[in-house]
Amino acid sequence: MNALNRFRTALLAACLSATGLTNVQADSAQSGEAGTGSDPERWNFRVTLDDREIGYHNFIRTRLDGVEQVDITAEFEVKVLFITAFRYRHDNTEIWRDSCLDSIQSETRTNGDLELVSGSRRDSGLRIATLAGEQEADGCVRTFAYWDRDLLTATELLNSQTGELTPVRIEALEPRVIRYRGSEIEAQPYRLTGADLKLEVFYADDRWVGLESTVEG
C-alpha cells in the first residue's frame, strides 16, 4: 500500500510515476500556429511503468486572441497478478491569460476516491475551492504546465488535483538522447524536486517531448 500511496502523491503534481521508473513518451503531436483561429496543439503520451504500458496522458492546447485553453486527460491502471491494484483518472480544463492561470476545473478519481478543484481569478488573486475548503493564491499562479518552458522559472506551482501550492526546485541536467515519435532525439532535461516530488521534464528546443519520474516502493 505504501508504494501505491507514493504513486498517488507524485500524481498530485500532474506527473506520472510509480514503483520504479516511469516514462512518458510522445506517440504523436500536432502543432498549430499561434493566433486567432489556430489549430490546437496536441501531446499524446503513452505511460509506461518499468517498460510496461499502463495508460495515457493527453493534452490539447487551443489559443485564441491571447487566451489559452488546455484540456488534460490522464488515465491508467496498474495490475498485480491480474488484479487491479491502482486505478486513476484525471480530467482538467485550464484557462490561461498573459501566461497566468485564469481559471481551472478538475476532477480526479483515485481508486474511487473523488477530488475536485475549481479556481477563478479575482482582483486580489486566484480563488481556489476544493472539497476541503477554499483559499486564495496571490500573484501569477501557474500549474505544472509542462508544455510551456516558462514553467522552469517557477518556485511554486499549483497542484491541479488537490488545489495545493507546491514549492519546487528546478535544475538543468546534462542533455540526453530519448525516443520521441518513433525516433531518437537529443533533449534537454530539467529536474523538478519538492515534497514527495522528483521528476525530469525534457525539451527539444521549445518543444516538450517527455517526462520521467522515480519514486521509492
Rounded mean pLDDT, 105-133: 93
Give 8 or 85, the one with higher predicted confidence. 85
The residue among 217 and 64 whose pLDDT is bigger is 64
Q: How far apart are CA 52 and CA 174, in angstroms?
A: 26
Given a cut of 50, whether residue 101 has pLDDT beyond it is: yes
Prediction pTM value: 0.80
pLDDT at position 12: 30
Non-local CB neighbours of 111 within 8 Å, separated by 6+ positions: 4, 86, 87, 88
- pLDDT tens digits, residue range 17-48? 333 344 444 444 444 333 445 688 898 888 88
Query: For 48-57, 67-76, 198-207, which range has the lowest pLDDT when averaged over its residues?
Result: 48-57
Give me the mean pLDDT over the 69-81 stretch: 92
Question: C-alpha cell of 185?
Answer: 532525439
pLDDT of residue 67: 94
Judge contact between 56 and 46, C-beta under 8 A.
yes
Q: What residues have CB less than 8 Å from 185, skipping those under 6 apart?
A: 177, 178, 179, 204, 209
Please tell me which residue, 45 or 68, carries the higher pLDDT value. 68
pLDDT-based confidence at 94, cuts 50/70/90?
Answer: very high
pLDDT given at position 33 = 38
Q: What is the mean pLDDT of residues 170-183?
A: 90
CA 119 vs CA 65, 86, 102, 156: distances in Å? 22, 28, 8, 17
- Specify the pLDDT at position 111: 92
